[in-house]
A = this chain, B = another copy of it.
């Protein structure tokens, strides 16, 4: 069963939708990326951060700052934050965890990845 499913999925590509400031969700996304890339080193993983999710990406606010920075440096995943969310919260890109990228529109980024065939996971609990 599992091997059949494996045969169906050509690539392990997931866009994670992160719009929560909840620290359990912050921990979960870091843990999940670690587990996935441990088993599937070629997985393409992207976390799109917008709305209430902003804290994960901001220095001195993120409970996972070191982990996020390391995941990016090790090319395990990319983290992209919505420019409109930054502006609304008066956060300058210099305040972001090093390696976090800025995209013009977080929702647009997510649906673009969906349209390119990436899987979609909403981070929530």
Seen from chain A, the residues whose Cβ lies within 8 Å of a Cβ on chain B are 1-2, 5-6, 8-10, 12-14, 17, 19-22, 24, 28, 32, 35-36, 39, 51-53, 84, 103-105, 107-112, 114-122, 124-125
Contact = CB atoms under 8 A, between A and B. Distances in A.
B36 A104 contact: no
B21 A105 contact: no
Contact of A36 (B6, B8, B32, B107): B107
24 contacts: A2-B103, A5-B108, A5-B109, A6-B112, A8-B112, A9-B111, A12-B108, A14-B111, A17-B121, A17-B122, A22-B125, A28-B51, A32-B51, A32-B107, A35-B84, A35-B105, A36-B105, A52-B125, A111-B120, A111-B121, A120-B120, A121-B122, A122-B122, A124-B124
Contact of A9 (B12, B22, B112, B122): B112
A105 B9 contact: no
A56 to B, nearest CB: 12
